[in-house]
């Protein structure tokens, strides 16, 4: 019985070996058929060698093509062989639903084309919109990934250059042949996986850490880095993404290494992720690209999902002054993740230089460096959040050195304090071993139609995730003190102001700062909001300058009869706004500003020693106070007048001592500052 079992096992093993040999022959024949036209060897299931932070194992059913030709090194391929191999690989992938690996064995430079300026291949002549190019391997001069194709492109240390954009050694633009379809690569409902066997993520990390605070040093290191590159794209009009355009519904782009550099487009100088597409950037460098309107490095508009989960986005530039887009610009995108990524030295003339999130679905931002980005004359240097941004912010971050408004420090700007707050979904901290610098928050007046209140919190869920951790250890206001307000991060501006909000308690003058009160937070029981510590003979312009840090929106200033300052002010006062003797800010004047949409806040003013409301301290105030004391009419005074009258006997009804002090001030023998 045992012998029969052994004999059966031997027969079964032999049959299995014969079957495997047959399958091997079939595979070999299939591979030979794939490569027979090009004469190149193709192999099945070969691992990629790109050094990335994620698994680089090749997917199943993958076939390999090598892009090469006999043309001289450093010259465009004019023999057509590289174009032929590319087309074979792309069409095989699309027709057989296979993941095809294409390895670049030499630089591929687009050839001159009389109609397309430069072209990698495809039909000669003008672009014909009547033709369906979404089924082709080339589209109007560009490399194309058509519907159904999955291409794993290994740059292998080489460059793909469209040759439409050129720069000198200093980085200045020396050649610009921008055209409507001037991208390097366009993805039309297919999938592109970009690798680079020469890319070493550890070396890039070392370069960044060593040179991150040295702008010139980091730029030169990245410029001279030996790795595969996508370069030379230049789009003049409707086509975004100078380097790579992820274009149509169902398009998918993955990046695991290499560099996208020296490309230009109206939107998305390096990479553009467009309508209903999916992009996953897990490593690699987006460096020194240029856009006209926004997204100098990466631009996402109405995309389905974008993940930037590693690598470096640096030195990308945007030119327009009126746009609101940054080095990474995301608008109207369903889901965005930016994590474990370095965003550095991107510059923008307009608003939002580093990362700009605008009117999008949920955006997850954590464990990120945002450093030395600059909005040259606009708002928002580092991270800019606008209306309906829905940012989920967490992790250990290093955000510092970012500037806007011609050099003012700004790491975080929230322009909509009703719908653009940071949702703290996980514990938040500064990065251990990072710069140690706090995230500098800038608060600006209304931009466009955004809702704004300088006293609103900037977070949602801070205390839920960070407990009682003092937010001042993480955030720093441009002015004012970082505090917890109902468990959220907010700011007290009075701490750095010459003035402070004031109130009466048992007939005693109290100031907010000394009594742990915050305007608009825990002062609900104070009916009349009064701003005090204002000295006599303060001009309107000096007063306005000293309250700028409060950032009152649509500020208007009224005296006891009409509007003095702001839109709609009486023009007859214009020439007196700098004159504190002819027109001084007085007790009983009021500020009106837009607290939120369709809501106006009123703040009254109290000038120490000024009971008559003319902004001066003179004999009229002495006589007024003496009359109040004689007639016991103190209770008939307004709150602002009571606060102004409490000179010496603070805590009691004024006496003749108070009137005498005012007289001594008038005579110049006493400085009223001593009684603030």
**At a CB cut-off of 8 Å and minimum separation 6, what does 645 contact?**
611, 625, 628, 634, 637, 654, 658
In this prediction, residues 538-547 reach a mean pLDDT of: 92
Dihedral through CA 451, CA 457, CA 463, CA 465, nearest 10?
A: 40
Whose CA is closest to 308, among 283, 289, 344? 283
| pLDDT band at 129; cut points 50, 70, 90 | low
Q: Residue 505: its pLDDT value, please? A: 87
Block residue for tokens 């970009």: 194
pLDDT surpassing 60 at residue 479 = yes
pLDDT surpassing 60 at residue 669 = yes
pLDDT surpassing 90 at residue 92 = yes
In this prediction, residues 470-478 reach a mean pLDDT of: 89
- Summarised one tens digit per residue, pLDDT across range 360-387 is 778 899 999 999 999 877 778 899 887 7
How distant, in Å, are the alpha carbons of 68, 97, 171, 254, 494 from that of 93?
Answer: 19, 5, 38, 17, 66
- Summarised one tens digit per residue, pLDDT across range 77-90 is 889 999 999 999 99
Contact between residue 271 and residue 303 where contact means Cβ atoms under 8 Å apart: no
Q: Residue 321: its pLDDT value, please? A: 61
Q: Residue 648: its pLDDT value, please? A: 62
Q: Residue 357: its pLDDT value, please? A: 86
pLDDT surpassing 50 at residue 166 = yes
pLDDT surpassing 60 at residue 672 = yes
Q: Residue 208: its pLDDT value, please? A: 97
Contact between residue 324 and residue 351 where contact means Cβ atoms under 8 Å apart: yes
| pLDDT band at 330; cut points 50, 70, 90 | confident
Cβ atoms < 10 Å from Cβ of 589: 25
Weakest-pLDDT range from 54-63, 322-331, 582-591 = 54-63
- CA 162 from chain center: how many Å? 29
User: What is the average pLDDT score of the chain?
Assistant: 82
| Position with higher pLDDT, 167 vs 125 | 167
Backbone angles phi, psi at 86, to 5 degrees: -55, -45
- CA 39 from chain center: how many Å? 49
Q: Residue 2: its pLDDT value, please? A: 34
Q: From CA 506, how far away is CA 642, in angstroms rounded?
A: 12
Q: Residue 398: its pLDDT value, please? A: 97
Plot region of 192 (φ>0 → left; ψ -120 to 50 → alpha; else → beta):
beta
- Summarised one tens digit per residue, pLDDT across range 215-240 is 999 999 999 999 999 999 998 877 78
pLDDT surpassing 90 at residue 325 = no
pLDDT surpassing 90 at residue 262 = yes
Q: Residue 157: its pLDDT value, please? A: 97
Q: Residue 562: its pLDDT value, please? A: 92
- Summarised one tens digit per residue, pLDDT across range 427-441 is 999 999 999 999 998
Q: Residue 193: its pLDDT value, please? A: 97
Q: From CA 165, how far away is CA 458, in angstroms rounded?
A: 42
Q: From CA 590, how far away is CA 611, in angstroms rounded?
A: 15
- Summarised one tens digit per residue, pLDDT across range 606-648 is 998 899 999 999 999 899 989 988 998 888 999 988 888 776 6
Q: Residue 248: its pLDDT value, please? A: 83
Bridge partners of residue 578, in order along the sequence: none
Contact between residue 288 and residue 261 where contact means Cβ atoms under 8 Å apart: yes
**Positions of E strands within 177-326:** 185-187, 191-195, 229-231, 244-246, 252-261, 264-267, 271-273, 278-287, 290-294, 298-301, 305-308, 312-314, 317-318
Bridge partners of residue 568, in order along the sequence: none
Please give the order of strands across the beta sheet that includes 530-534.
508-511, 500-505, 530-534, 599-607, 590-596, 556-558, 563-565
Both structure tokens of 40: 């190149």
Contact between residue 471 and residue 483 where contact means Cβ atoms under 8 Å apart: yes
Q: Residue 468: its pLDDT value, please? A: 79
Q: From CA 265, how far away is CA 272, in angstroms rounded?
A: 9
Q: Residue 292: its pLDDT value, please? A: 84
What share of the chain in percent tops pLDDT 90?
45
Question: Of the ranges 1-5, 212-216, 371-375, 388-392, which is most confident?
Answer: 212-216
- Summarised one tens digit per residue, pLDDT across range 19-28 is 434 434 333 3
Q: Would strands 508-511 and 500-505 be described as parallel, antiparallel, or unpaired?
A: antiparallel
What share of the chain in percent tops pLDDT 70?
82
Contact between residue 257 and residue 286 where contact means Cβ atoms under 8 Å apart: no
pLDDT surpassing 90 at residue 271 = yes
Q: From CA 457, how far away is CA 409, in angstroms rounded?
A: 20
Both structure tokens of 434: 């990072």
3-state SS track over 394-458: EEEEEEECCEECCCEECCEEECCCCCCCEEEEEEEEECCCCCCCCEEEECCCCCCCCCCCCCCCC
């Amino acid at each position: 019985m045992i012998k029969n079992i052994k004999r059966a096992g031997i027969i079964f093993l032999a049959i299995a070996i014969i079957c495997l040999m047959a399958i091997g022959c079939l595979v070999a024949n299939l591979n030979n058929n794939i490569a027979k036209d090009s004469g190149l060897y193709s192999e099945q299931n070969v691992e990629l060698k790109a050094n990335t932070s994620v698994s680089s194992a090749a997917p199943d059913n993958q076939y390999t093509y090598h892009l090469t030709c006999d043309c001289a090194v450093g010259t465009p391929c004019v023999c057509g062989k590289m174009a032929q191999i590319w087309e074979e690989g792309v069409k095989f992938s699309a027709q057989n639903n296979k993941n095809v690996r294409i390895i670049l064995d030499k630089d591929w430079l687009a050839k001159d084309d009389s109609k397309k300026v430069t072209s990698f291949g495809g039909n000669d002549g003008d672009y014909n919109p009547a033709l369906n190019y979404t089924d082709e391997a080339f589209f109007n001069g560009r490399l194309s990934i058509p519907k159904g194709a999955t291409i794993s492109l290994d740059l292998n240390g080489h460059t793909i250059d469209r040759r439409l954009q050129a720069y000198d050694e200093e980085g200045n633009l020396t050649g610009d042949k921008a055209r409507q379809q001037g991208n390097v690569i366009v993805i039309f409902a297919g999938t592109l996986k970009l690798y680079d066997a020469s890319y070493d993520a550890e070396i890039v990390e070392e370069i960044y850490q060593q040179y991150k605070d040295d702008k010139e040093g980091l730029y030169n290191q990245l410029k001279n880095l030996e790795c595969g590159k996508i370069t030379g794209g230049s789009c003049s009009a409707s086509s975004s993404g100078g380097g790579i355009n992820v274009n149509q519904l169902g398009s998918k782009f993955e990046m695991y290494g290499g560099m996208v550099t020296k490309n230009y487009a109206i939107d998305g100088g390096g990479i553009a992720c467009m309508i209903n597409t999916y992009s996953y950037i897990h490593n690699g460098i987006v460096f020194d690209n240029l856009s006209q309107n926004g997204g100098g490095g990466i631009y996402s508009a109405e995309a389905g999902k974008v993940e930037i989960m590693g690598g470096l986005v640096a030195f990308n530039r945007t030119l327009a002054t009126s746009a609101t887009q940054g080095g990474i610009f995301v608008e109207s995108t369903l889901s965005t993740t930016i994590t474990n990524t370095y965003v550095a030295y991107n510059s923008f003339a307009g608003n939002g230089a580093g990362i700009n999130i605008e009117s999008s679905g949920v955006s997850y931002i954590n464990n990120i460096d945002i450093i030395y980005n600059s909005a040259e004359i606009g708002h928002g240097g580092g991270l800019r959040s606008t209306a309906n941004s829905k940012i989920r912010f967490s992790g250990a971050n290093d955000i510092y050195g970012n500037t806007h408004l011609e050099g003012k420090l700004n790491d975080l700007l929230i322009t909509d304090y009703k719908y653009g707050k940071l949702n703290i979904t996980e514990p938040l901290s500064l990065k251990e071993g990072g710069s140690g610098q706090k995230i500098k928050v800038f608060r600006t007046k209304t931009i466009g139609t955004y809702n704004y209140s300088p006293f609103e919190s900037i977070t949602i869920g801070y205390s839920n995730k960070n407990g009682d951790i003092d937010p001042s250890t993480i955030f720093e206001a441009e002015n004012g003190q970082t505090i917890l307000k109902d468990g959220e991060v907010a700011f007290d501006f009075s701490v750095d102001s010459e003035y402070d909000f004031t109130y009466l308690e048992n007939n005693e003058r109290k100031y907010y700062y000394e009594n742990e009160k915050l305007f608009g937070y825990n002062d609900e029981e104070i009916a009349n909001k009064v701003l005090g510590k204002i000295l006599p003979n303060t001009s309107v312009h000096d007063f306005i300058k000293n309250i700028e840090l409060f950032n009152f929106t649509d500020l208007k200033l009224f005296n006891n009869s009409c509007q003095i300052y702001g839109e709609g002010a009486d023009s007859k006062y214009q020439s007196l706004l700098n004159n504190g003797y002819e027109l001084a800010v007085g007790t009983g004047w009021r500020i009106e500003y837009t607290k939120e949409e369709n809501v106006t806040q009123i703040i009254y003013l109290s000038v120490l020693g000024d009971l008559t409301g003319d902004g001066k301290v003179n004999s009229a105030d002495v006589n007024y106070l003496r009359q109040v004391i004689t007639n016991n009419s103190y209770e008939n005074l307004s709150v602002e007048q009571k606060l102004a009258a409490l000179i010496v006997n603070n805590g009691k009804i004024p006496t003749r001592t108070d009137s005498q002090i005012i007289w001594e001030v008038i005579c110049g023998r006493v400085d009223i500052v001593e009684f603030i």
